[in-house]
Amino acid sequence: MQKSNLMLASAISGVLALGATLAAAPAVAAEKEKCYGVAKAGQNDCATKTTSCAGTSTVDNQGDAFIALPKGLCDRLAGGSLTPKE
């Protein structure tokens, strides 16, 4: 196989693999929900009102810090809430 054909085949394979990954992502996200008030300090999944990015919560069980959990699990956890706490 010529070098240019090999590069083209690699590029197409990469695009197809990326497309398959992106198509699967919403299915995983749909099976999860944000659970507030249960993350350990530094273990939150995203920014909060007082922090700028994931992994930056400053205290355990910070009310506005969440972690993504399988649907239905948050309600079973002590202190878990589907809405941010003040």
What pLDDT is recorded for position 52?
76
What pLDDT is recorded for position 80?
93
CA distances from 69 to 30, 40, 52, 56 (A): 11, 14, 21, 18
Other beta carbons within 10 angstroms of residue 78's beta carbon come to 7
With a cut of 70, which residues of the chain have pLDDT below it? 1-28
CA distances from 29 to 18, 19, 37, 61 (A): 17, 16, 20, 23
